Amino acid sequence: MNLVRRRSLRVVTCLFHGPRRKAKEGGKKAVCIRQQFCSNPDCDYYLITDDKIHALMGYGTHGKYEDVQDLICQACRKKFTIRKHTLLYRLKTHSKIVRLALHFLATGVDISALEEVMAIRESTLRTWLVRSGVQGRKLRERFFTGLELVHVQLDELWANVKQAEQAVWVWVVCDAKLKVVPVVQLGSRTQEMAYSVVHELKSKLKVGCVPVFSTDGLAHYFYALTAHFGEWVRAEGEKKSVWMVLPNFLYTQVIKHQRKYRLVEVEERHIWGLPEENRRLLKAGGLSGNINTSFVEWINLTIRQSVSKLTRRTWGRAQYTSELSEHMYWWLAASRYHFSRCHESLRIRMEKPMDRKGKQRPKEYREVTPCSGGWTNKSAAVVSDGIDQLSASISSGRLSM
């Protein structure tokens, strides 16, 4: 009865004054509780990550091979480990070993080779990979919103999946300027998949943003793009509204003709919009003005080299589509591509060159990753700058909010 009364009082206080703030007095914090929150859905401080507001404090450690910090919420007295909602939750293996294995998997090492070298069972490695893929997906959903893209290129690459009933393709969407990959989907090469890919892309774009599009000769893209980048318009005197493609929508197909495995001709088909308008918009966006699909093809090759399940003529192909999908998300979203891999074309010239040790030339450029180079979402840039290589989704793992 007493408990019930206390709880209702706290809810009322919270309703009128907002979450309570901590007092200024008290000892210095010994345990880092930044970006942590109370995991109890019934608590007033649930999902509050600001360490000046929430009521978390250290509560000892546990673990056989390494010390894992425990926390307690002073408001609801609920105890939980700092690893909750991360990929390390309830794993007994030392975090360094998990980190190392995931690092290898993100650099294109085959899972069976890793099993032999690290003496870890393949099923365990697959479990870690699926967990990391889930974290990568969350990280991606959290930061890939309100994108302002200039030149979007779409392509698809064939994947070798053992248990799939029909051929599986990896649908890739990339931006030529920021080098980000906002959409990756796995599925068959059908019109429904094209709709799904473009629908996801549209949901990640800033409202009103209509980039220039270029694809290969697959006709499905035309129907998917025109279905998403248009509006209902009712002309004067007409009873029914008509779907009209947006006036600033531009779409080009780039078709490469080959003869005896050699490229002989590159054909540009301006499906929607004039070529001059295309070039003008691309130049205005800071690009060369050339219409091509070379950036997405370059990313396709990078994906093939970095995700071992997509390597050509491999024995270590994926068993299921979901497995390949999680591997892709781990590499793309969390570990390597967006947050820790520097891209040479994105580097920024420093105002004053930085001196280096010995006879080395002064450093003239600051290396940046796709997520810290000119992206509109500042929090993503902060994460990108602060992320230490592989610990990307391990250390910033509490992403269930």
Is the Cβ–Cβ distance between 343 and 384 less than 8 Å? no
Residue (53 or 120) nearer to Zn ion, CB: 53
Residue (75 or 102) nearer to Zn ion, CB: 75
Residue (58 or 316) nearer to Zn ion, CB: 58
Binding piece for Zn ion, criterion CB under 5 A, among 28-36, 43-51, 292-300, 316-324: 43-51
Is the Cβ–Cβ distance between 197 and 155 less than 8 Å? no
By CB under 5 A, name the one of 48, 71, 76, 328 that touches Zn ion: 76
Residue (40 or 391) nearer to Zn ion, CB: 40
- Least separation in angstroms between CB 10 and Zn ion: 10
Q: What's the CA gap between 58 and 387, in Å, rounded?
A: 24
By CB under 5 A, name the one of 7, 14, 35, 40 that touches Zn ion: 40
By CB under 5 A, name the one of 36, 37, 43, 318 that touches Zn ion: 43
Is the Cβ–Cβ distance between 102 and 132 less than 8 Å? yes
Q: Decide: is 49 part of the binding site for Zn ion (CB under 5 A).
A: no
- Least separation in angstroms between CB 74 and Zn ion: 8
Is the Cβ–Cβ distance between 52 and 96 less than 8 Å? no
- Least separation in angstroms between CB 80 and Zn ion: 9
- Least separation in angstroms between CB 40 and Zn ion: 5
Residue (52 or 260) nearer to Zn ion, CB: 52
Residue (46 or 320) nearer to Zn ion, CB: 46
Residue (56 or 102) nearer to Zn ion, CB: 56
Binding piece for Zn ion, criterion CB under 5 A, among 76-84, 246-254, 276-284, 363-371: 76-84
Binding piece for Zn ion, criterion CB under 5 A, among 33-41, 114-122, 208-216, 370-378: 33-41
Residue (43 or 201) nearer to Zn ion, CB: 43
Q: Decide: is 71 part of the binding site for Zn ion (CB under 5 A).
A: no
Q: What is the largest CA-CA distance in the chain?
A: 84
Among 378, 347, 379, smallest CA distance to 364 is for: 347
Binding piece for Zn ion, criterion CB under 5 A, among 36-44, 57-65, 269-277, 347-355: 36-44
- Least separation in angstroms between CB 61 and Zn ion: 20
Residue (37 or 329) nearer to Zn ion, CB: 37
Residue (55 or 180) nearer to Zn ion, CB: 55
Q: Which of residues 152-191 bind Zn ion (CB under 5 A)?
A: none
Is the Cβ–Cβ distance between 181 and 171 less than 8 Å? no
Binding piece for Zn ion, criterion CB under 5 A, among 37-45, 187-195, 248-256, 332-340: 37-45
By CB under 5 A, name the one of 37, 38, 369, 370 that touches Zn ion: 38
Report the residue count for the chain: 401
User: How is residue 185 written in tokens?
Assistant: 């989907």
By CB under 5 A, name the one of 36, 48, 71, 75 that touches Zn ion: 75
Q: Decide: is 73 part of the binding site for Zn ion (CB under 5 A).
A: yes
Residues that bind Zn ion (CB under 5 A): 38, 40, 43, 45, 73, 75-76
